[in-house]
Structure 1
Amino acid sequence: MTDVRRLVPRTDAVLAQPAVAEAARRLGRSLVKQAVVAAQGRARVGDIDPADVAATALAALPATPTALTPVVNATGVLLHTNLGRAPLSAAARAALDVAAGTCDVELDLATGGRGARGVAATDALLAAVPGAAAAHLLNNGAAAIAMVAAALAGGGREIVVARGELVEIGAGFRIPDLLTATGARLREVGTTNRVTPADYADAVTDATAFVLKVHPSNFVVTGFTRSCAVDELTGLGVPVVADIGSGLLAPHPLLPDEPDAATTLAQGAALVTASGDKLLGGPQAGLLLGGPGEGAGLVARIRRHPLARAMRVDKLTLAAFEATLRGPVPPTRAALDADPATLRARARAVLARLPGIDAAVVDSVSTVGGGGAPGVTLPSAAVSLPEPYAAALRAGRPAVLGRLEHGRCLLDLRAVPPSSDDTLVEAITRAPCRS
């Protein structure tokens, strides 16, 4: 009898097949060759027929050369940190395509000389926050705070901050560790639950660089509490720096207690820092806004600091950020503003396409997430499925991530764009767990 291993096609022969060669052109020869070798190994042990090596290799290949997998966010968390926070708008994605090639990021096409970097993006930010006198972008929110500390308090000057605002967020990241790593010293005031303007005033000395207000991120302190607004701290003779965290640029009716850039500057903050990939709905970036008066000078000082080069944003971020601000409403804002009645109607339409499946439409509660608007809930609607669907949907392509609640898998539609409803239906009907 013929040894089946002799029937396994040679690697070069498989790679020369048109469909495999096209995959190598699109994904890279190394990745495709790995899939071919793995398929040959399965054929040698009898798992597949030798004639199916090419087809098996092709079926194992990813859609793109990245290990990242598209995921439909049906968790009800608008800014899911594990899913990359804010999804980019179509305008931002189109801008990425332009920036991905050679472009005039630092070139003046009129003169042929070197041009200013990132001006269009910061101009878009200044247009969105008219009360700001200056703006600068860094590579994330932590970088914005770190640059302020390094430029204004590095070398041992003091930052006055309330004890209740020395927060820790995901992955063990702690604000006090970040600040002291820049060479600054912290002067903690108040208690974990209460701080007054007098506490700040008593702490300000000739060694004080600035007073810092920090967004509480993912927690809320309730009960016997007291905190200070920015306008209570502006007469202390030192700049007030406010980290508003979530990147809300202007007040939003659903988030009355969430600090926003426009209001914070109007209250007298010299500098405002925030993240670009949260409620603003753009790419990961650190926003630095300077208020009228000393704010513009402080932004210029920070921009000239040696570390600014290490924390600058790339051309992709500049393009996506500008397009987010100048383009149509980004997905995060659309999800935040979604009408609950419309969400229920969408859920009923999805349910109507799932005959024979133990599914139902239920009221749901969504959250902002991503360290923004802690404690705020948003009414929503979800499709309820048996619990085994959770794992099956996560394993699909694209993956669908829901949440488990009372023994059921809930697919909350607030963070799912209407254009993905068909994808959701297809994923549910393909899932290998019929009820």
Structure 2
Amino acid sequence: MEKQKELLRALPKVDECLVLLESSFDESIPPRIIKQCVQQCIEQERKKILSGDRTTRQSEKWWIASFEAAVEKKMSYNLCRMINGTGVVIHTNMGRSLLPQKATELLTQAGGYYSNLEFNLQTGKRGSRYSLVEEVICELTGAEAAMVVNNNAAAVLLVLDTLAKGTEVIVSRGQLVEIGGSFRIPDVMAKSGATLVEVGATNRTHKWDYENAITDHTSMLLRVHTSNFRVIGFTSDISGEDLSSIARDHGLVTMEDLGSGSLIDLSKYGLMKEPTVQEVVKSGIDVVTFSGDKLLGGPQAGIIVGARDVIDKVKKNPLTRALRIDKFTLASLETILRYYYDINSALENIPTLSMLTVQRDVLKKRAQRIVRRIRKKISGTCQVAVVKTNSRVGGGAMPECDLPSYAVQLDPRDIRLSVLEKAFRKMPIPIIGRIEDEKYILDVRTIQDEEINVLCDLIVDYFDQGTQQ
């Protein structure tokens, strides 16, 4: 107890610490932040002592270093850049799709200058923000009308609330998906005020399942593309054309939630076959919803396309204002969409598409380039090699699709992989890889060419310092 009291008495006073730090920070650091960090550091040390920690009193140098580290952390932005070495292209936890340079330039322009967000330059009167991208979306998809909200879950909610509130919506039991964050189609439907009517079995749904379930309370037939899982084996489902035919016969609306909708048939480039937005629109479905930041390769957005009379109703829903997108989303989305006027341009310039369709020999050369840069410098503490691996599409799309890839494999001699993984996460620019077959690997599919020098420097610096955080 006496030792504890002695340690508590030895804790420095806040005012004395502030004097010690007078030369540590320039005027850009608010004094209240410095004081707050000093108080927090002292309080943390006090709690350690009271919990029974018998550490000897800390030196003045140690305290100054602690205060400086605390202030640096406090002043650092929470949203930071990372290097994605996981091989998951559309990584939900890392911001999903990357934007091309042209889009980031327009983001800067949209943020730094006034724009015609809702100003019609032809009439000089108020305009519609949807008009900035509607024409492009319609040209690309073949739809009569379009609008955009802040994400695809919002798009589904808005359409159901507009067209099916207080009525019944028929859905195949095998399509009642759960998307990321435990959001489920039945829950979204319930929130919209529509009543879910399940038909068919988990693996098989027929035309007569829909026809037999239609009542005077039915308003819509809904299809949900199961992009994040597969039901295989003894299965059956009806086509969009058949669903549209049933709906027309009974005066109902059809809707399809495509989830991670694509404007390109990626099966031509070695990936799994996914229905394109154009194909679904052509099948006669009245309204189609899909994400902007998945296979499309753009910013977070929910895109709604379909028949003009249907979309006009959706636009008039009061919820539209609560779910609308801002100027930054519009600026980047328009950039992405315009690349799709030429498929080759889209594949080359949209990072998501480039990463999904890149040739294996390009990936191998990228991995070899990294290994050449670091092998000699860290050979004493870590073995380095180029290995084959498999990447993933991510974002809930194509769950069964393995993308053959190459990775840089790190096998440290005296450092546990868990320690290495944690240390890489704490770097100035965090590096995120994965542990596979008791080795740490960095899949180069998701490492950009312009990141290679930074990545190599970070790895070499870590092993040079022998850090084992």
Name the amino acid aligned to 2:150. Answer: N
Using the TM superposition, name which of 72-81 and 386-395 deviates more: 386-395
C-alpha contact 1:159 1:209 (8 A) present in aligned 2:
yes
Partner of 1:97: 108
1:281 aligned residue: 297
Counterpart Cα distance in 2 of 1:42 and 1:429: 33
Alignment equivalent of 1:337, drawn from 342, 346, 357: 357
Counterparts of 2:425 and 2:361, CA distance in 1: 27
Percent of aligned pairs with the same amino acid? 35
Is 1:86 matched up with 2:97?
Answer: yes
Which residue of the partner structure matches residue 440 of structure 2? 409
Distance change (3 Å), C-alpha of 1:193 and 1:110 = closer
CA offset digits 1:390-422 (Å, max 9, x no partner): 222122121111111111111001111111111
Deviation at 1:199, TM superposition (A): 1.4
Contact 1:8 1:50 in 2 (8 A): no
Superposed displacement of residue 344, structure 1: 0.6
Alpha-carbon spacing, 1:14–1:113, altered in 2? closer, same or farther (3 Å): farther
CA distance in 1, matches of 2:88, 2:260: 14
Residue pairs, 1:247-396, within 5 angstroms:
247-252=261-266, 253=268, 254-290=270-306, 295-326=307-338, 329-354=349-374, 355=376, 356=379, 357-386=382-411, 387-388=417-418, 389-396=420-427
Q: 4+ residue runs of structure 1 moved beyond 4 angstroms?
A: 3-15, 29-33, 35-45, 50-53, 62-65, 109-112, 432-435
Query: Greater shift after overlay, 383-392 or 309-318?
Result: 383-392
Whether 1:175 and 2:185 are equivalent positions in the alignment is: yes
Q: How does 1:221-236 map to 2 (within 5 A)?
A: 221-236=231-246
**Are 2:104 and 1:73 aligned?**
no
1:195 corresponding residue in structure 2: 205
Aligned equivalent of 1:419:
450
The residue aligned with 2:26 is 20
User: CA separation in 2, counterparts of 1:48 and 1:110?
Assistant: 68
The amino acid across from 1:419 in the alignment is E
Correspondence for 2:169: 159
User: Does structure 2 conserve the Cα–Cα contact (< 8 Å) formed by 1:258 and 1:372?
Assistant: no
Q: Which residue number corresponds to residue 150 of structure 1?
A: 161
Of Structure 1 and Structure 2, the greater helix share is in: 2
Provide Cα deviations, 1:67-120, integer angstroms capped at 9, x if missing partner: 123221111111111112112222222222222245232234566532322322
For the residues of structure 2 that align with 1:52 and 1:10, how far apart are their CA atoms? 8
Q: Which residue of the other structure, out of 208, 219, 222, is the alignment partner of 2:229?
A: 219
- How far, CA to CA, are the matches of 2:67 and 2:304 in structure 1? 51
SS at match of 1:398: coil
Which residue number in structure 1 is paired with residue 196 of structure 2? 186
Is 1:241 the equivalent of 2:255?
Answer: yes
The 3-state SS of whatever aligns with 1:211 is: strand
Q: CA deviation at 1:364?
A: 0.9
RMSD: 2.9
- For these two proteins, the number of residue pairs brought into alignment is 421
Deviation at 1:18, TM superposition (A): 9.4
- Counterparts of 1:192 and 1:226, CA distance in 2: 10
Aligned pairs for 1:201-212 (under 5 A) are 201-212=211-222
Which residue in the other structure is 1:61 paired with? 72
The offset of 1:203, in angstroms, is 2.0
Task: Give distance in 1, aligned partners of 2:203 and 2:11.
Answer: 74
- Classify the secondary structure of the residue corresponding to 1:177: helix
Q: Provide Cα deviations, 1:14-43, integer angstroms capped at 9, x if missing partner.
A: 57x69521355xxxx655654465578899
Mapped partners of 2:112, 2:433: distance in 1: 36
- Equivalent pair of 1:5/1:43 in contact (CA under 8 Å): no
**Per the alignment, do residues 228 and 424 of structure 1 end up closer, same or farther by CA in structure 2, a change over 3 Å counting?**
farther
1:363 counterpart SS class: strand
In the TM superposition, residue 303 of structure 1 has moved relative to its aligned partner by 0.7
Distance of 1:318 and 1:222 partners within structure 2: 38
- For 2:364 and 2:75, locate their aligned partners in 1 and report how far apart those are by CA, in whole Å: 35
Alpha-carbon contact 1:95-1:319 (below 8 Å) kept: yes
Could you tell me which runs of 5 or more consecutive residues in structure 2 were left unpaired when the two chains were aligned. 1-9, 47-56, 340-345, 412-416
Residues 103 and 332 of structure 2 are in contact (CA less than 8 Å); yes or no, is this contact kept in structure 1?
yes
2:12–2:42 CA contact under 8 A, matched in 1 = no
CA gap 1:65/1:114 in 2 versus in 1, 3 angstroms:
farther
Structure 2: distance between partners of 1:325 and 1:258: 19
Q: Summarize the Cα distance change of 1:266–1:62 in structure 2 as closer, same or farther, 3 Å threshold.
A: farther
Of stretches 332-341 and 322-331 in structure 1, the one that deviates more from structure 2 is 322-331
TM-score normalized by structure 1?
Answer: 0.87
Give the alignment's TM-score, normalised by structure 2: 0.81
What is the Cα deviation at residue 161 of structure 1? Answer: 0.5
Superposition deviation, residue 276 in structure 1: 0.8
Max radius of gyration: which structure? Answer: 2
Q: What is the rounded CA distance, in whole Å, between the counterparts of 1:321 and 1:82 in structure 2?
A: 20
- Residues 279 and 333 of structure 1 are in contact (CA less than 8 Å); yes or no, is this contact kept in structure 2? yes
The AA in structure 1 aligned to 2:263 is: L
Shift of 1:59: 7.8
Q: Is residue 128 from structure 1 mapped to residue 140 from structure 2 by the alignment? A: yes
